[in-house]
């Protein structure tokens, strides 16, 4: 049995397929008709929380996500708003400070009375706010690729799980570049560490020896890359094709890529595939020495579809800046926002319980020409794209999955999670259901 067939057999619902097939698999969800809860707007607007760092090390990535949310809200208001009311953006700055994310989330929910929140980038910020959303029963739309190993009823994960980004990127390097040695380089926090745990287990399952795996972590904002890049260069001199799988986040990417160029490391020698470098990050780098290095995402600005051309043009007009780029997490917010709109319309209320139930089964267009469907595990279906860095700071798409990939919220390569699934439909309503024991081990909503 192939790897895909094994996964399909073990998971029941399956992990690959087009949106229409996925929706047919679990059918429509009936909207609740109960009275609105506290989140139902009583004034003239429906408040929407925007929780992104506008200062600190992550501002390089997150400021754009705040801006795209303002654009989406403006567009929706031009259509008449939602449930007969205008949407009102409530923007806060958690300033790349992880405990402050939790404080700002509590403020948005308890003080500002937002109906839902769109925010966070790093997994440590998401982990910081998660207890707040579960305690206060509000909704977070999280738009960035992450490490999986989580399935909360109060979070909709519109970024990629590892099997929608990291695993396909490794497979591409194995198949196309014949890579045999692996540098797993990341920022020192939960997303890179957990992703690399999964990747290390995956590589070993393919027969890769421990000596052919190098793992390195650096703090947020790290700037002195000379010795680390030299060690990567030395690791790659052993006579086996070597690649770097990068989970380096934030503004540390700028000096990292500059040092690659300084030491003459070309993509033909040691290719780098990044999971947190998109068009926005490349805007601050001289990309000519980086031509041919890779990124794995579910969207690139260079996608040639009518939907994307319209989105890019609207974005440049909204920002009044023809040089502003789009990127993958922006598309995730575009998808998540439109899913929230449809779920609220379906439920007829902004009550979180009703919207959470109504969101499962919602499908909206993505920007690459297909549809994204919200699955029972609160993750969405996605295509996987591999792009090469070009001299103009854009990506040339060199690989794309033929269909949509359904997220694995729990990794099948980690012993403690290989038998878990998340399914927030009635009657299961469980974020971590063990298919072997038939029990809900975590995340039960009674």
Q: What is the pLDDT of residues 183-217, one digit of tens each?
A: 999 999 999 999 999 999 999 999 999 999 999 99
> Does position 19 have pLDDT exceeding 60, yes or no?
no
Task: Supply the pTM of this predicted model.
Answer: 0.87
pLDDT at 386: 97
pLDDT band at 43 (very low <50, low <70, confident <90, very high): low
Which sequence spans correspond to the domains of the chain?
A: 163-297
pLDDT band at 444 (very low <50, low <70, confident <90, very high): low
Of 299 and 445, more confident: 299
pLDDT at 280: 82
> Does position 28 have pLDDT exceeding 60, yes or no?
no
Is residue 185 within 8 A of residue 316, CB to CB? The reply is: no
> Does position 446 have pLDDT exceeding 60, yes or no?
no
Distances (CA, A) of 338 to 298, 349, 355: 17, 15, 13
Range 411-436 average pLDDT: 95
Range 332-338 average pLDDT: 98
Number of Cβ atoms within 10 Å of the Cβ of 290? 24
| Joined tokens for residue 368 | 């690459």
pLDDT band at 251 (very low <50, low <70, confident <90, very high): confident
Angstrom distance (rounded) from CA 272 to CA 254: 14
72 φ/ψ angles, rounded to the nearest 5 degrees: -65, -40
Report the topology of domain 163-297.
Answer: Rossmann fold (3.40.50)
pLDDT band at 445 (very low <50, low <70, confident <90, very high): low
| Joined tokens for residue 240 | 């086996």
pLDDT at 359: 98
pLDDT at 21: 40
Q: What is the pLDDT of residues 157-184, one digit of tens each?
A: 999 999 999 999 999 999 999 999 999 9
Angstrom distance (rounded) from CA 409 to CA 442: 13
Please provide the average confidence, as pLDDT, over all residues in the chain. Answer: 89
pLDDT at 22: 42
pLDDT band at 12 (very low <50, low <70, confident <90, very high): very low
Angstrom distance (rounded) from CA 203 to CA 212: 10
pLDDT at 174: 96
Q: What is the pLDDT of residues 258-289, one digit of tens each?
A: 899 899 999 999 999 999 888 887 886 788 87
Q: What is the pLDDT of residues 121-156, one digit of tens each?
A: 999 999 999 999 999 999 999 999 999 999 999 999
Burial of 135 (0-12, 13-18, 19+ CB in 10 A): exposed
Range 234-241 average pLDDT: 95
Orientation of helix 59-78 relative to helix 328-347, angle to 10°: 40
pLDDT at 4: 38
Is residue 25 within 8 A of residue 8, CB to CB? The reply is: no
> Does position 433 have pLDDT exceeding 90, yes or no?
yes
pLDDT band at 402 (very low <50, low <70, confident <90, very high): confident
Q: Are strands 272-274 and 213-218 parallel, antiparallel or unpaired?
A: unpaired
> Does position 49 have pLDDT exceeding 90, yes or no?
yes
9 φ/ψ angles, rounded to the nearest 5 degrees: -65, -40
Q: What is the pLDDT of residues 352-391, one digit of tens each?
A: 999 999 999 999 999 999 999 999 999 999 999 999 999 8
pLDDT band at 37 (very low <50, low <70, confident <90, very high): very low
């Amino acid at each position: 049995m192939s790897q895909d067939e094994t996964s399909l057999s073990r998971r029941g619902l399956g992990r690959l397929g087009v949106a229409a097939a996925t929706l047919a698999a679990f059918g429509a969800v009936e909207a609740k008709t109960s009275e609105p809860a506290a989140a139902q707007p009583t004034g003239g607007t429906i408040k929407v929380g925007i929780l992104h760092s506008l200062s600190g090390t992550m501002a390089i990535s997150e400021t754009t996500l705040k801006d795209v949310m303002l654009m989406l809200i403006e567009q929706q208001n031009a259509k008449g708003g939602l449930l007969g009311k205008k949407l009102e953006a409530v923007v806060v700055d958690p300033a790349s400070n992880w405990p402050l994310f939790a404080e700002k989330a509590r403020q948005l929910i308890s003080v500002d009375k937002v109906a839902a929140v769109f925010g966070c980038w790093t997994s440590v910020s998401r982990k910081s706010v998660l207890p707040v959303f579960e305690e206060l029963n509000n909704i977070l739309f999280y738009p960035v690729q992450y490490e999986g190993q989580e399935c909360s009823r109060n979070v909709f994960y519109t970024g990629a799980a590892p099997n929608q980004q990291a695993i396909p990127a490794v497979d591409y390097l194995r198949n196309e570049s014949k890579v045999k040695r692996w540098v797993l380089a990341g920022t020192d926090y939960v997303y890179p560490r957990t992703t690399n745990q999964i990747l290390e287990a995956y590589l070993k399952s393919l027969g890769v020896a421990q000596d052919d795996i190098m793992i390195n972590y650096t703090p947020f904002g790290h700037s002195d890359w000379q010795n680390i890049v030299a060690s990567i260069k030395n690791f790659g001199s052993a006579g086996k094709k070597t690649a770097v799988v990068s989970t380096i986040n934030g503004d540390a990417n700028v000096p990292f890529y500059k040092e690659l160029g300084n030491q003459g490391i070309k993509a033909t020698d040691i290719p780098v595939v990044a999971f947190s470098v998109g068009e926005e990050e490349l805007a601050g780098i001289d990309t000519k020495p980086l031509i041919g290095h890779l990124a794995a995402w579910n969207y690139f600005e260079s996608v040639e579809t009518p939907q994307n051309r319209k989105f890019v043009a609207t974005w440049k007009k909204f920002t009044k800046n023809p040089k502003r780029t789009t990127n993958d997490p922006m598309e995730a917010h575009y998808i998540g926002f439109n899913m929230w709109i449809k779920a609220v319309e379906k439920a007829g209320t902004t009550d979180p319980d009703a919207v959470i139930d109504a969101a499962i089964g919602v499908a909206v267009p993505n920007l690459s020409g297909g549809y994204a469907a919200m699955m029972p595990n609160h993750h969405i279906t996605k295509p996987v794209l591999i792009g090469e860095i070009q001299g103009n700071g854009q990506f040339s798409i060199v690989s794309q999955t033929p269909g949509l990939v359904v997220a694995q919220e729990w990794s099948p390569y980690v012993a403690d999670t290989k038998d878990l699934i998340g399914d927030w439909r009635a009657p299961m309503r469980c974020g971590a259901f063990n298919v072997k024991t038939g029990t809900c081990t975590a995340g039960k909503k009674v």
